[in-house]
Amino acid sequence: MNTLYITNKTDKPMKATISDNYTGNNVLSYELMPGNNELIFNSLQTGAYTICIRDANNDIFYNQKLIKD
């Protein structure tokens, strides 16, 4: 998996951050504009990550584990 498609159904930008599950460090950040967004993460090594999507108030909107193989 190298691409993730996310639809932001709000009328405001949101922020998606991908973190390494082992170190907890943020490895990628994306701004999600209203509508369809394509997140490409070819640069990530194989492993477990977490994607966290935050709204304009920096509140967590969505949190999910990702496995890149």
User: Which residue in 6, 1, 45, 49 sits closest to 26, CA to CA?
Assistant: 49
How far is the C-alpha of 40 from the C-alpha of 34, rounded, in Å? 17
In the prediction, which pLDDT does 69 show? 83
Amino acid (one-letter) located at 57 = N
Residues contacting 16, CB < 8 A, separation 6+: 6, 29, 30, 31, 32, 37, 39, 51, 52, 53, 54
In the prediction, which pLDDT does 1 show? 61
Per the structure, the count of domains in the chain is 1
Per-residue pLDDT tens for 6-24?
A: 999 999 999 999 999 888 8
Q: Longest Cα pair distance anywhere in the chain, in angstroms?
A: 34
